[in-house]
Structure formats: C-alpha cells, structure tokens
Structure 1
C-alpha cells in the first residue's frame, strides 16, 4: 500500500472515530481541514459531514452533501442510499424511489433499499407496490421493522386478515418481540377478538412489563369487562412512563365513570381534552358523563364538538338527540335522530328507533312513535337471544311503550 493510501485510511479512521464518539464539533474541524487539503474531493469526509448535518436536523444541507459525494463516486451504493434517505425525510418520495432504483443497479440485492422503497410507496399510497417492495426486502433478509410496515400497509387497506398473517409470520422469526406482540394484540382488538387480543398483549407485557402502549390496550380490555379497579392499577403504571397521554387520561376518566365517581371522571377527561383537543372520543365521553349527571348544556357542547371532529359516528348524533330532547328542543332532537338512523345504515340500531319513539310519544306524536316502535321491533326481533339478554332493560322499555301506544 502506498504512503498516500495509508495516510488517507488513517485520516478516514480518525473521522470515523470522532463521528462514532459523537464529537461532532471536532469532527467538523477535521473535515474542513481534509477538504481544504483535497480541494473538496474527499468522498468520505463529505459523507461524514452529511451525516452530521442530518443528525442536527439540517436535511437539505445533508442532501446537497450526499449528492456531492455521489458526484465524486457515482457507483457507490452507500452514497445513493443516503441521497434516497434524505429525499424521503424531505417528503420527496417519488424522487427517493428513483434514486433507490438507480442504487439497485449496483451490487447485490439490498434489504435496506427495498425496505425504504416500500416506505416511499406507502406514503405515495401505492399500496400494491409497497407490499411488493416489502416482500422482496423480507426475502432478502427478514427484519421485524419490515414485517411491521407490511402489516401497517394491509391495515391501511382494511385487510386485517392479511395483516394478522404478516404479524404471525413475523413472530416465527422473533417470538419474543414486544412490539410485534402488542401490534398483533391491537389488531385483534380492532377485529373485536378480545380474548386473543388479551392473550398477545399479556404475552407482550411478560417481555416488556412497562410498555405504556401495551398497558393501555390491556387495560382497555379489562375495563370493557367492567373490572375498573384492576384497569386503574394498570393505568397507574402507564402514567409513570407517559403522564401526558390523552388516551390514557381518557381511559382513566371512563374507569371513574364506571365506578360512578363523576367528579373524578370529568377531571380526568378534561385533562385528556387539554392534552388531545382533537381526539373526538374524549369530547364524546365528556358528553356522556355530563348527560348522565344532568348537565345538559355541557353535554350538548361536548357532543357537538364530537360530531364536528368525527361526523360519521352515528351514536354521537343519537346522544346529541337525547340531550336536545332534555333541553326541550324537539325539532332539532328529531333532526339528530333522523341523522343517526341514516348514518347507522342497514340493518340499523334498534335503540335509535326506541329512543326516537319515546321522544315522539312524550311529544304526543303517537302515530310517529308507532312507526319508530315498529322499526325497533323488526330490528330487535332479528337479533339473537344472547344479544337481547345482554340488555333486558331495552326490551322492558319497548314493551311498556307498546302498552302505552296500544300496540
């Protein structure tokens, strides 16, 4: 090896050492010296400087430097990958794909290139191409991060069965990965398979007992089973790690609501609303608590906010109608019920029609009440016996209203 090559390798090693130690100021001083000596043609020095710029959040500057390094050595795949990465971070996903495709022409198949191409296609909403890229990346080298992104793409396409298959496949490679276990648990929760969701979430907690995301999901299942005290114990652990999580304070608030501690419920939900003002479910839950405590003006305010944030949730309109009825606003209550029934679609929600029938009866609109009660009976009759037994109070109210209307 020539003395010139030895000197270059020693210099590059020094830059590498300073960079890995994160002594960035000293590293940049040395880089400036090197670039001055080499008339700005030292590829490695430019590459390291670009990495430091990116680390400091100067993405545009880092891109220009990586492009400069690529101009010096156009066939260096490492430079091309970093150019693609910088373009991706700047949101220029189409340009990033073009660079990754150029990088593919050199060297062996590369997992990183295919994974990052998949990410770009995902943000471009070209989901089929994203799936194809992630699949090729997995074939080259299975990585948990690629499995997670592939499952995410299927989730965006509402293809939950395929997403579950992907995560199951990932667990064959990494059976103890808490993030995979939690993601799979959340997916089962989304598909209303609570027993399997709880199984995977508790398995995840055995490997990472303080993961706030997992605790929150497991706690919500426990909460759905009306075991509020156990759920609150879980949430207490999560609150240490994520004290500013709006979802956490929302769930704690609803636990207190379930325990009939309404002041504590409202305090927690208002904290959640402060932390997440655009989370529609928090406004919805505040509406429920205020409706339950007879604070109808406040309930109207929160249900209205919930409807504005998520206008396609039928139950918000139903509870808004109940609130308006309590405020003696008959016309707007009827309009809200009509909207709720329209939003529910087919086959429909029996309780919407029953509540509407009760309002019509109380307003002495007996013929209209009979129409709604008839619609309720048709839907209620189509439900299975177990579903009807789950809420016997609804059947009793309908029977009593039927007697009053002579039906």
Structure 2
C-alpha cells in the first residue's frame, strides 16, 4: 500500500517539534484508475496501446467507465468509423446526461454522417446546458447552413461571434450571405473579419476575389497583395492577381505569378486554363491549346475551359474542332448567348448555313 505523510508543527516551551504522521494514500475508484494512462497514450497518438488499456479498463468496470468509452469513440472517429463512434458517444451521454461534451460529440458524429437535423437537436440540448459555448453556436450555424436554412444559420453564427470572434465563424457567415445572394453583407462581414484577423490570408483572398467580381480592381489588388505579403505561395491569391494582370494585357507578369503557383498546385485546372489564355494573348496558339487540354483533362466538365478551347480553335481556323468544344460548352452552360454566337461562326465556316442561322437566332434570344 502507498503512504503519504503529513507534517504538523507544534509549539512547545523553548522549542518547536515536527511530528510526522504517515497516512495511507487515497485509492482512486476502479472506474477512473487508468484514465490518466489512457489520456497520455491518446495525446501521444499511440492509439493501439490506448485501445488495449481501454479494453482492460472496460472489462474491469463492466463497461461503465465514461472516459474510456469517450476516448475509444474519438479514436474510432479518427479511423473513419463514424457510426460506431456515434454509438459510443451515445453511451457516454446515457452514463452522464449532464455533460455538454458528450452531447456535442453525439451531435458532431451525426453531422459527419450527414444527419444535420438530428445534429441540430443535440446541439440545442447542449446549448441548454451551456449557453455561452462558441463551438455549439458555430456548429448550429453550420448545420442550418447545410440544410439551407440561411436565416437560422445567420442568427446562430452571429451569436457565436458575440461569444468569440473566431475567423472560422466569419468565413462561414460570409458564405451564408453569398449563398443567400447578399454580396454587400458578405463583404461587410469579411471587412470586419480582416479588422480582427489582419494576417489571415484566406479572409484577405476571399475579400479580394469579391471585389474582383464587382470590378473594384484597386481594392481587389490591395487585399490580394496583402494576402501574398503574408503568404507568397497562396495559390488562390496568385491566380486572382495573375488574372487581373492578364486582363490588363500584362501576360509576362501574369506568367511569372503562375510559375510560382504551379509549384504548389501543379494539377489545378484554373491555373492551366489561365496559362493557356496567356499563351493565347501572346498569339502562341499551339502552346495555348496544349495547356487548355491539360486543364480539360483535369476538369472535363468545366464549361469555361471548353469555351476557351473553342475560341482558340476558331482563331486557328480549325472549325470542326471549334464546333466540338463549343457544343460541349453549350451542353454544360446553355444560357450563355456568346457561346451560340461562336458556334454560329464555326458552323458558317463549315458551310452549314441552316444550323448557323439557328445558332445566331438563339444567341440573339439569349442577349435579349
């Protein structure tokens, strides 16, 4: 048996004495006896040893050790066994129904299984136990976002921001506004976010891209430049900055940017699409087609790549190939008048007057 000692000081005339009493150390309950060891192996990612200790602990406690079940569920989730982890977290919630963590983990597993409505119920139950938990409010907003209930998503994300100004919550709230069709609100959210997180390259890049879509090139360049200052290899910012330079005819400068991006994302379809159109701008048509075909191989259902391939082949007077790519682009995006116009040009040069006329008529209808 282990012993601890207790020191007692007594006052006696002309002297002081220390009296040492040896007391038995308190024994931990058998249910909790190995918790410290389970925790140690879990945080060191020694999952095999951790599972062996958990098995012993559960055998000794007849499956009543909450912490051992909880950690086993976490390990199963890391291994991708979400359904099994859910069942174990539910067992934890039965053993300790007043634990917010248990309810949050049940909700998280349901969320990962795509059962968003069921996850919402458990998050609300957890919120009743702890109203000031940022994670609960943020994840409620996330669940409502996935079931396309943007009003409730916005409400809970704003509550989360009141509890804690977190960059993930700002990003998600901005996405909610964008999907709800309110670009101005999204921009305001990202502006606020950048004030709190001025070095967050994802926020800076997203804000720069929104300004780019609105044609506010100065503000777009400013935010994209800031993103590249903090992360020179941020490929999204590089692509956006390169496309701006490309739009203004600075093809060589844009190509230098794309070379940097190619080191990080060599298999990016938008990157090869942009490089192809740089070569097209420099009138190097064979190189342009080579790059665009690589983009098409990486993303065969991207209508923009097909559009560009049709345009380059049309410029090279390869009308049959142009017809092939433009037809494919129209199948993917039948609401763009310009595609019908280019198709009509290809058909005219292929001497198919009847279908060319139909394509021109369709282009006119789309423009109206």
Could you state the TM-score of these two structures normalised by the residue count of structure 1?
A: 0.82
- Cα deviation for residue 17 of structure 1 reads 1.5
Corresponding position of 2:82: 59
- Cα deviation for residue 4 of structure 1 reads 2.3
- Does structure 1 residue 130 correspond to structure 2 residue 153? yes
CA distance in 2, matches of 1:259, 1:158: 37
CA distance in 2, matches of 1:10, 1:191: 62
- Cα deviation for residue 9 of structure 1 reads 5.1
CA distance in 2, matches of 1:147, 1:253: 35
The structure with the greater share of residues assigned to helix is 1
SS at match of 2:128: coil
Judge conservation of contact 2:319–2:349 (CA < 8 Å) in 1.
yes
- Cα deviation for residue 2 of structure 1 reads 4.3
Q: Give the alignment of 1:7-406 within 5 angstroms.
A: 11-345=34-368
- Cα deviation for residue 184 of structure 1 reads 0.3
The structure with the greater share of residues assigned to strand is 2
CA distance in 2, matches of 1:342, 1:10: 77
CA distance in 2, matches of 1:119, 1:314: 37
- Cα deviation for residue 12 of structure 1 reads 1.5
CA distance in 2, matches of 1:90, 1:222: 43
- Cα deviation for residue 8 of structure 1 reads 5.3
Judge conservation of contact 2:120–2:143 (CA < 8 Å) in 1.
yes
CA distance in 1, matches of 2:193, 2:111: 25
CA distance in 1, matches of 2:41, 2:159: 36
Judge conservation of contact 2:31–2:61 (CA < 8 Å) in 1.
no
CA distance in 2, matches of 1:40, 1:100: 26
Unaligned segments of structure 1, at least 5 residues: 346-407
- Cα deviation for residue 29 of structure 1 reads 0.9
- Cα deviation for residue 90 of structure 1 reads 1.0
**Cα deviation per residue 1:10-49 (whole Å; 9 max; x = unaligned)?**
6212111211111111111111111111111111111111
CA distance in 1, matches of 2:142, 2:68: 29
SS at match of 1:164: helix
CA distance in 2, matches of 1:172, 1:8: 49
**Cα deviation per residue 1:64-111 (whole Å; 9 max; x = unaligned)?**
111111111111111111111111111111111111011111034211
CA distance in 2, matches of 1:289, 1:185: 29
- Cα deviation for residue 56 of structure 1 reads 1.2
- Does structure 1 residue 3 correspond to structure 2 residue 21? no
CA distance in 1, matches of 2:137, 2:337: 42
Unaligned segments of structure 2, at least 5 residues: 1-24
CA distance in 2, matches of 1:306, 1:92: 36
- Cα deviation for residue 296 of structure 1 reads 0.5
**Cα deviation per residue 1:101-136 (whole Å; 9 max; x = unaligned)?**
111110342110111111111111111111111000
**Cα deviation per residue 1:377-405 (whole Å; 9 max; x = unaligned)?**
xxxxxxxxxxxxxxxxxxxxxxxxxxxxx
CA distance in 1, matches of 2:112, 2:333: 30
**Cα deviation per residue 1:222-260 (whole Å; 9 max; x = unaligned)?**
111110111111011111110111111111111111111
